[in-house]
């Protein structure tokens, strides 16, 4: 009887243990499945919002961009958001705040998707009208004489619309309505009436709806819906962590019960023990997924924010793979992921162990290493060792050796990630180092503020029409006459002072304003020399030659005034930027077909490839001023100048010497056979042409 009682107790204890075990397994399985589902939907929303903004920008800038992807992203957002609200886990009481936050975001999501539908409708109409106007404008050549006012007006209206669309600025259309009204007042023949009426119909549609289109686009790009959903995600993760803790406590209780049952039923003990181990592994994996990157196994960005404040004396090494996009594009993302995984192991050098290292994959091709209590000099040395070891390490992928280089910033000042990122971007601009240490003396924050201020100055200058060309004379040393002028860009500020190219062109080249500055210089310079007897030159970069829209504008201007075009010289900067030889030669031949001449500017300034220049069909070689200004006291530079002159004469090129400052230098250059001299000795850049 006693045995049976104990057996019954053991059996009951075992059954109870099994029931609890089954309950815990189902509970944990459901929680894990539901948690991953909710996290997946949050990630889908986050990715969709980011891609959607990118697609919207693409659609607004490119006439033939397919809007189907935008519609698909919108449907994905709506589906994911509905699925998120209906998720079973969010129906539980402890997640009521998360559910309430999502419910409060519902109207914002509806407004956002509604705004996208409104934008897509406008954008589709604009694309149709823009394409129609562009085609219509070309057809106007057959209906109107080439130099008729109506032909010019149609092209001007079409170009104004194109400019406003490229710059996404409705201010460019302030005078379009008046121009359209003027078209309406002109008498036309029967063939022209239908053409003009159709043209005006599309033009008015664009003019009337473009401000609403810009407002709609800005509203979408500035929407805070993604941030509200991100807040809900963070709250969900916080509550889920509490549930994980509860599951841990339940696991402990279950383990104690199983230990008791083990003394009575050996079989139940082994079964329960194995199940418990499996459950603990699942819990560990769940906790691990919250704090670690799945690709590399390192801590993730979320963990960096949590762990960095707990380090006593942190030093952050921020590492970025150079040109990693090219690796993905050339070898594929699977190879790129494999390299990132191997790189995660490669950065964990034993020499870092004395400084309690923490390793992070911050996303993409960015990694972070947090060290504790290391001095700045030692941190820089270790960063250089890491960079060197990576640079010399062959990544073997499908029997192919791939070598990569990295840039590393070292920072020990809060805010750590922001300062390290600014230093890393500054390092990328230097091109000659792979390690940099952040220091306030770099004035990187001031530089960022200065760049923003410069962009505002450029935008204001374009709007105020205060971008002006100044002209510096080129003196023929053989005929002793001024025969040419070079157009140099200046910006007139509101206080009357001037902004010089070194002050703003570097910043402008990183924005869409650069194209506008080049266009203004071309148009104003061509117009200024229409009725003057001199030759004149303007400067173009490789970036300008690669800009099909800008090249089309230049060709159109040359086509419109072939007589002036015959006196135009295009100066190309002799540098490594002229990397596409075939593209450069094609551009040169196209421009020279209008009678223009081509010059290579700043020849001899550091990078000088004689064979490269000899392969180009150019007419003029300009010797860099850094050589000219020192030829009196530097025999080596004098010999270099003589070599360049001999090289140019063999190619039958005209020669221009820059920075001619006095008569003695001018006479020496004339004796050496230089064709033109340019410098303050002959005249400073001014708006006056003698």
DSSP one-letter string for 88-108: GGGGSGGGHHHHHHHHHHHHH
pLDDT, position 385: 94
Residues 686 and 470 sit within 8 Å (Cβ to Cβ): yes
pLDDT, position 141: 62
Whole-angstrom distance, CA of residue 319 vs CA of residue 420: 9
pLDDT, position 140: 63
pLDDT at 7 over 60: no
pLDDT, position 84: 73
pLDDT, position 1: 46
Q: Where are the domains of the chain?
A: 2-108+237-291, 118-221, 301-442, 449-677
pLDDT at 306 over 80: yes
Query: Rg of the Cα trace of the chain?
Result: 35
> At 220, is the pLDDT very low, low, confident or very high (cuts 50, 70, 90)?
low
pLDDT, position 2: 47
The predicted model gives 135-159 an average pLDDT of 67
Whole-angstrom distance, CA of residue 545 vs CA of residue 514: 13
Tell me: the pLDDT tens digits for 82-139?
777 777 777 778 777 777 777 777 766 766 777 777 767 767 666 667 767 767 666 6
pLDDT at 517 over 90: yes
Measured torsion, CA atoms of residues 29, 32, 35, 40, in degrees rounded to the nearest 10: -110
pLDDT, position 75: 77
pLDDT, position 508: 83
Whole-angstrom distance, CA of residue 446 vs CA of residue 455: 14
Task: Point out the least confidently predicted range of 120-124, 406-410, 686-690.
Answer: 120-124
Shared fold status for 301-442 and 449-677: no
Q: DSSP characters for 384-422?
A: HHHHHHHHT--EEETTEEE---EEEEEE-SSSHHHHHHH
Query: For all residues of the chain together, what is the average pLDDT?
Result: 81
Tell me: the pLDDT tens digits for 10-33?
666 667 766 766 666 666 666 677
Superfamily of domain 449-677: EAL domain (3.20.20.450)
> At 67, is the pLDDT very low, low, confident or very high (cuts 50, 70, 90)?
low
pLDDT, position 61: 63
The predicted model gives 229-245 an average pLDDT of 73
Tell me: the pLDDT tens digits for 244-300?
677 666 767 766 777 766 666 665 555 656 767 877 787 777 777 788 999 999 999
Whole-angstrom distance, CA of residue 629 vs CA of residue 669: 11
The predicted model gives 667-677 an average pLDDT of 94
pLDDT at 484 over 70: yes
SS3 363: strand
Give the CATH number of domain 301-442: 3.30.70.270
Residues 144 and 151 sit within 8 Å (Cβ to Cβ): yes
Kindly state the helix (H) or strand (E) to which residue 682 belongs, with its residue range: none
Residues 604 and 624 sit within 8 Å (Cβ to Cβ): yes
Residue 22 to residues 26, 29, 256, 260, 279: CA-CA distances in angstroms? 6, 10, 15, 17, 11
Tell me: the pLDDT tens digits for 431-468?
678 999 988 777 666 777 777 888 898 999 899 999 99
pLDDT at 510 over 70: yes
> At 662, is the pLDDT very low, low, confident or very high (cuts 50, 70, 90)?
very high
Cis peptide before 415 (omega within 30 of 0): yes
pLDDT, position 366: 94
pLDDT at 599 over 60: yes
pLDDT at 345 over 90: yes
Residues 409 and 437 sit within 8 Å (Cβ to Cβ): yes
pLDDT at 476 over 90: yes
pLDDT at 3 over 60: no
pLDDT at 159 over 90: no
Nearest residue to 171 (alpha-carbon basis) of 163, 181, 183, 179: 163
The predicted model gives 357-368 an average pLDDT of 93
User: How many CB atoms are located within 10 Å of the residue 526 CB?
Assistant: 21
Task: Point out the least confidently predicted range of 52-61, 359-368, 415-424.
Answer: 52-61
Task: Point out the least confidently predicted range of 137-146, 510-519, 656-665.
Answer: 137-146
pLDDT, position 261: 64
The residue that leads in pLDDT, 220 or 680, is 680
């Amino acid at each position: 009887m006693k045995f049976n009682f104990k057996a019954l107790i053991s059996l009951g204890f075992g059954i109870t243990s099994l029931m609890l075990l089954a309950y815990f397994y189902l509970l944990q399985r459901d929680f894990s499945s539901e948690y991953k589902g909710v996290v997946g939907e949050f990630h889908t929303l986050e990715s969709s919002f980011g891609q959607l903004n990118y697609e919207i920008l693409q659609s607004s800038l490119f006439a033939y961009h397919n809007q189907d992807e935008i519609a698909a992203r919108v449907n994905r957002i709506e589906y994911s958001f509905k699925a998120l609200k209906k998720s079973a886990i969010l129906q539980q009481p402890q997640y009521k705040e998360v559910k309430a936050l999502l419910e409060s975001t519902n109207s914002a999501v509806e407004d956002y998707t509604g705004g996208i539908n409104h934008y897509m409708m406008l954008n589709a109409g604009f694309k149709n009208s823009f394409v129609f106007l562009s085609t219509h404008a070309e057809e106007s050549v057959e209906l109107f004489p080439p130099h008729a006012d109506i032909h010019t007006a149609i092209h001007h209206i079409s170009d104004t619309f194109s400019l406003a669309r490229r710059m996404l600025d409705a201010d460019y259309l302030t005078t379009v309505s008046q121009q359209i009204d003027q078209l309406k007042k002109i008498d036309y023949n029967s063939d022209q009436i239908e053409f003009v009426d159709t043209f005006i119909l599309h033009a008015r549609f664009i003019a009337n709806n473009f401000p609403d289109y810009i407002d709609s686009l800005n509203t979408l790009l500035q929407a805070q819906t993604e941030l509200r959903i991100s807040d809900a995600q963070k709250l969900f993760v916080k509550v889920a962590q509490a549930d994980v803790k509860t599951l841990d406590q339940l696991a402990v209780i279950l383990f104690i019960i199983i230990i008791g049952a083990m003394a009575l039923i050996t079989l139940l003990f082994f079964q329960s023990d194995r199940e418990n181990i499996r459950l603990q592994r699942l819990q560990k994996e769940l906790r691990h997924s919250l704090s670690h990157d799945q690709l590399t196994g390192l801590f993730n960005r979320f963990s960096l924010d949590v762990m960095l404040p707990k380090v006593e004396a942190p030093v952050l090494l921020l590492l970025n793979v150079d040109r990693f996009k090219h690796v993905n594009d050339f070898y594929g993302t699977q190879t790129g992921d494999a390299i990132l995984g191997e790189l995660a192991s490669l950065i964990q050098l034993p020499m870092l162990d004395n400084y309690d290292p923490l390793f992070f994959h911050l996303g993409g091709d960015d990694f972070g290493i947090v060290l504790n209590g290391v001095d700045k000099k030692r941190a820089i040395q270790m960063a250089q060792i890491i960079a060197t070891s990576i640079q010399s390490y062959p990544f073997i992928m499908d029997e192919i050796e791939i070598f990569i280089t990295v840039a590393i910033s070292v920072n020990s000042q809060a805010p750590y990630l922001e300062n390290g990122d600014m230093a890393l971007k500054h390092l990328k601009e230097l091109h000659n180092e792979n390690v940099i240490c952040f220091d306030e003396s770099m004035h990187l924050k001031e530089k960022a503020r200065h760049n923003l201020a410069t962009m505002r100055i450029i935008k204001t200058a374009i709007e105020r029409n205060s971008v002006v060309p100044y002209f510096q004379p080129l003196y023929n040393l053989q005929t002793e006459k001024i025969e040419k002028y070079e157009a140099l860009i200046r910006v007139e500020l509101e206080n009357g002072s001037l902004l010089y190219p070194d002050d703003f062109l570097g910043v402008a080249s990183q924005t869409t304003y650069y194209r506008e500055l080049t266009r203004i210089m071309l148009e104003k310079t061509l117009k200024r020399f229409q009725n003057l007897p001199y030759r004149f030159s303007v400067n173009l970069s490789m970036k300008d030659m690669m800009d099909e829209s800008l090249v089309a504008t230049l060709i159109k201007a040359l086509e419109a005034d072939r007589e002036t075009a015959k006196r135009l010289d295009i100066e190309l900067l002799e540098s490594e930027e002229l990397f596409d030889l075939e593209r450069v030669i094609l551009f040169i031949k196209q421009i020279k077909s209008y009678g223009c001449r081509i010059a290579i500017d700043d020849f001899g300034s550091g990078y000088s490839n004689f064979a490269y220049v000899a392969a180009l069909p150019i007419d003029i070689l300009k010797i860099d001023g850094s050589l000219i200004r020192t030829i009196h006291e530097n025999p080596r530079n004098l010999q270099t100048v003589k070599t360049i002159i001999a090289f140019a004469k063999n190619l039958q090129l005209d020669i221009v010497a820059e920075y001619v400052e006095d008569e003695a230098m001018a006479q020496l250059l004339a004796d050496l056979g230089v064709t033109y001299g340019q410098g303050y000795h002959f005249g400073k850049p001014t708006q006056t042409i003698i």
